[in-house]
Homo-oligomer: A and B are copies of this chain.
Amino acid sequence: MRIAEVSEKYNLTQDTLRYYERIGLIPPVSRNESGIRDYNESDCRWIEFIKCMRSAGLAIEVLIEYVDLFQQGESTALERKALLIDQRDQLIHRIKEMQETLQRLNGKIERYERCILPIEDELKTISVK
């Protein structure tokens, strides 16, 4: 798969794909004889994984470390697991925080509803007139 296809498939710009590879956020992608990237199954799975993790807000720095450990082989499995657990716990914390904010936003919106409904009704009445 060429970069153009991959870019479309995962909705990441070619620049972003090259950038991710350059900084080690995904392992080096295989190339054809003329040096052009030829993404294989495994490359695609990495991209998908990284995209998912990034969408949840995991820092690039941490993910680079994960990829790096992965490339060092089996001996880093415990370390990788610890990294994932740490990130999961942070993620849980952020989700909780966001759910609290969601509650608060909902409360605020409700209050607007109670205050504003009369105004909205009035506006409707006017526009009917």
Q: Which residues of B contact A105 (CB under 8 A)?
A: 53, 84, 87-88, 91
**Could you tell me the distance between the alpha carbons of A91 and B18 in the complex, rounded to whole angstroms?**
30
Which residues A112-129 have CB closer than 8 A to chain B?
112-113, 115-116, 119-120
Q: Contacts A109-B84, A112-B84, A116-B78: A98 and B91 contacting too (C-beta < 8 A)?
A: yes
Chain A interface, >50% SS class? helix
A57-B57, A91-B101 are known contacts; what are 4 more A-B pairs with Cβ within 8 Å? Answer: A52-B104, A58-B101, A81-B116, A91-B102
In the assembled complex, A56 has its CB within 8 A of some CB on chain B: yes
Is the CB–CB distance between A115 and B77 below 8 Å?
yes
